[in-house]
Each structure stands twice: as C-alpha cells, then as structure tokens.
Amino acid sequence: MPDASESFLACLVRHGGRPALRGEGGELAYDRLPEAVAACRALLDSVGARRVALALDNGPQWALWDLALLADGRVCVPLPGFFSPAQQVHVLDSAGVDTLIVDPATIAGAAGFPGFAAVAPGVLQRAPAHVATLPAGTVKITYTSGTTGQPKGVCLSAAAQLAVARSVAQIGAACAVERHLGVLPLATLLENIAGLYAGLLAGARVELLPMRTIGFSGGGGFDPARFLQTLHAHRPHSLILLPQMLLALVGAAEQGHALPAGLRFVAVGGGQVSPRLLQRSEALGLPVYEGYGLSECASVVCLNTPSARRIGTVGRPLPHAGVCIGDDGEVQVRGARMLGYLGEAPPADALAAHAWLGTGDLGHFDDGFLVLHGRRKHQFITAYGRNVNPEWVEAELVQQGPIAQAWVHGEARPENLAVLVPRRADCSDVELEAAVAAANAGLPDYARAHRWLRAEAPFTPANGLLTANGRLRRAALAAHYLPRSGADGGAPGVHFTSFSDETET
C-alpha cells in the first residue's frame, strides 16, 4: 500500500463511529470504511484489474471504489458522464483501461462500451489494444475537457492529491463543517479531492446523491428549482459550486425564496466569477469563498477563507502550493502537481515539485491575494491597443437576469461584440439591451459590449459551441457568428449600445 494512501486511510478510521458516507441507499460509518474498501479491493484483485475506469453516478459506491484503488495503488480513471460517447471511448482507449466499473443495475448496458464483457456484477473487462506507459507513481488519470480536440489525460500521484485535500480539510475543520453535500460530479477532480477527500479528512459526513437529484441532466441541463429543493432537504454545511450554480442560488434568494439553513462554507470556482455576484452573495449573508485551481495542480491552489477573504480575488495560496507571477504576467505554480500528461514525455526535471508550472492564466498579487485576469490564449487586443480578457466581460453579462450565456469578441475591432443567449424564449430585445447596459455600467469603455447579437440558439455541446463540461468553444463561435455580425456593424440583428457613463480606466 503506498505510504500517502496508508496514512490517509489510517486518519479516516480515527473518526470512529461517526457517519462517513451517505447516499440514497443508506449511511456508512468511518469505522466500517476499512471493511467496505477491503471488499472492493478483493474483487479488483480477483479479476486482476490494473487500470480501472469508474462509470458510476455520484454515490457512496463511487467513493468506495475510488478509495480501494487509492489504497492499492491501482490506476483510477474517472469517466465523466458529461463527456460525449466518442470522448468516453477516447478516455478508455488512451488510458489503456482494462476494467470498467458500472452500476450493476445497468449491466446490460455493456453494449455501450464495445469490447467489454461482464466478469462480475457491475464489473466489465477487456484486453486493451494499447497500454500507454505512465509516469511512475500515477494512481489517477483525470481528463480535462479543453476548448478544442480530445480530452487530455493528466497523471496524478496519491501524494499530490492528498496534499491538496489536507489543505482544504483544514479550512473545513476551522468552519466546523460536519456535513458536505457533493453537488458536482465526482468524476471532476474538484469534487473528488476538495469535496470527498477533504471532507473525509475533516471527519464530515459526505453526502453523495445521484446527479438527477441535484438537478443535473445530460451534459448541460441544470434545474435550479430541483437544486434548491435538495439543499433545503439535506441542509449541508459546505458545498462546492460552479459560478452558474451560485447565480441560481443568489437569484432565487433575491426573488424571495428562502436560503437553505446551515451553510457555513460555500466554495465557488471552475470559471470566472463576477465580483458583483460575490457582493450580491455577501449581501444575502451567504458564506461564499472564491478559489482557483487546475487539474495539472491536483485541483485547488488558492482559496479565500473566513479569516482571509477579499472579493475580486481567488484567495491566497494554500499551504501545499507556491504561486508566483512570471515576467509576462502568467501565473506559475509549484508544489502538488501532475506527473505529466498521458502519452507525452515531459522535458527533464520540468515536472519536479520544485519547478514552476505555467498555468496559462494571467494575474497579479494584491497583498498576497491572487487576482486573475483570464486565460492568456483568450485575451484579445482591440483596434485601440487595449487588452481585454473576455471571461471578465462574459461573467458580468451572465449575472444579469435576462442573459443565460454570452460570448464576447473584439480582436482588432474598434467595438466589442457580444453574442447573447436569453434566459427565456420570450425575452425581448429591450430587456436584453437593458441587461447589456447594466453590465456595461461597471466596465471600462474598452471592455464593454458595444454591440450585441441575439444568438440563434443556446450554446451546447450538440451544436459544437460548448465543450462537454460547459466551456465556450471560442473558435467555433467566431466562425459561426462573426460573418453574421458584419465587419462594419451593419448586419441585420446587430444592436448598438448607447452609454451614459463614459468613464474609462
């Protein structure tokens, strides 16, 4: 058993008879975890599993299989349910997965995974055609869904994952978190490490419910009403939210809906968060703390906390991480980090713990708090030479009630264009115009949406304008909408925005 994993599991047992995992089928105490994990390990050993993909919905069984793989040092490959079938096949093949864990109730669904056959209830196996060599120490391959191409495998050690979990667990313990509700898929590293592992280390009860219960369906469907019902029913102390989930919570509260009782720490990350949204959260008394991380650094790097919080920043670096800003403004990180990308040989010593990893994000420090400006590759330069990170503008637009999605473009243009997806089909152009004006009021002139165009349809993975995990496919959006916008701004359907506030920064 690897040392880091052994120490982790030993810590969990010390919590005794307290509830550890809870799902729709019941509850499991900390002192019963070793027995449950041992049963999973025995089955994995009996079938000779080496690289194991988890194709399960959120629930205690996902957690037990994951802990069993961690304990044995076998390779765990979480298979995101929000990936397309083609992306899932890519994950299985590129990682050389030989064993697939599925819900036993859907064992007949093995037809969805060509080449696999059932060897035990809920366990499918195959002989993979190709088994890629992994960096030494790899126990998890997590796949990032970028804006282009196939998902990329990030190889992680147990030590890196648990270093992050320990940092986050300290915050949970300080906030007296006794109940954590996992509302993100466990196949995402953020919930896996900062939710499950950190929650267990802190001795909390980690509640894991099917994603349909949380309010998610398919690759991008989200039901805010169902989400709020679940929060009220389970009254968690802590949550990890994406910005759009926080927006749903805040919007509901501002419309008079009661906030769920008991919240003590709500982390938000995974995308650009508008400072205005955080201010609205604070006005409602929500304990919301923005953070920052990336898969290549085993998830969380920086996080605001009750004792060190500054709205507009992603917090200070956590104890396990070192962060600096390069000469070109790029955020660089060292400490807990990946062993390498699957199938790519890193340069000598480039991935040593003491080496700095360029994140591709731009930022600066303000009294030790990291302020992010956006992705370096997404930044555009206007015709007047001003640098703009579109994520910043998009975050301001989508917190306006009528706007569900926004894409902003202004490369080499005198005026920035926003393509908007209304939140309601009957939303009028007048309402959208007012929403754009409200967002623009808090932006400098060079970053404002000077023109806007109503989208033909929502941005989705199905139409190729969104990745499987909800990121904008900017090149595809540009190819689709820029010809419709008109180079001179005179295309039909393009709206010009007038400004009453001409303040620049």
Whether the per-residue pLDDT at 434 is higher than 70: the answer is yes
374 — pLDDT class (breaks 50, 70, 90):
confident
Q: Which of 319, 325, 284 is nearest to 305 (CA)?
A: 319
What are the tens digits of pLDDT across the range 85-119?
Answer: 888 999 999 999 999 999 987 655 555 788 999 99
502 — pLDDT class (breaks 50, 70, 90):
very low
What are the tens digits of pLDDT across the range 295-345?
Answer: 999 999 999 999 999 999 999 999 999 999 999 999 999 999 999 999 887
Give me the residue label for tokens 């391959």: 141
Can you give the pLDDT at residue 499? 46
What are the tens digits of pLDDT across the range 260-288?
Answer: 999 999 999 887 788 889 999 999 999 99
Return the CATH architecture of domain 380-496: 2-Layer Sandwich (3.30)
Q: How many CB atoms lie within 10 A of CB 14?
A: 10
What are the tens digits of pLDDT across the range 388-432?
Answer: 889 889 989 998 999 999 999 998 888 999 999 999 999 999 999
Can you give the pLDDT at residue 157? 96
Q: Where are the domains of the chain?
A: 3-152, 159-375, 380-496
For residues 242 and 338, give the distance between their C-alpha atoms in angstroms, rounded to a whole number. 23
Q: What percent of the chain has pLDDT over 70?
A: 91
Q: Which residues contact 277 (CB under 8 A, 6 or more apart)?
A: 243, 246, 247, 250, 395, 399
Asked if the domains 3-152 and 159-375 are classified in one and the same CATH topology, the answer is: yes
Over residues 230-257, mean pLDDT? 93
Q: Which of 30, 41, 10, 54 is nearest to 189 (CA)?
A: 54
Over residues 143-171, mean pLDDT? 88
Can you give the pLDDT at residue 500? 42
User: 3-152 maps to which CATH number?
Assistant: 3.40.50.980
Class level of CATH domain 159-375:
alpha beta
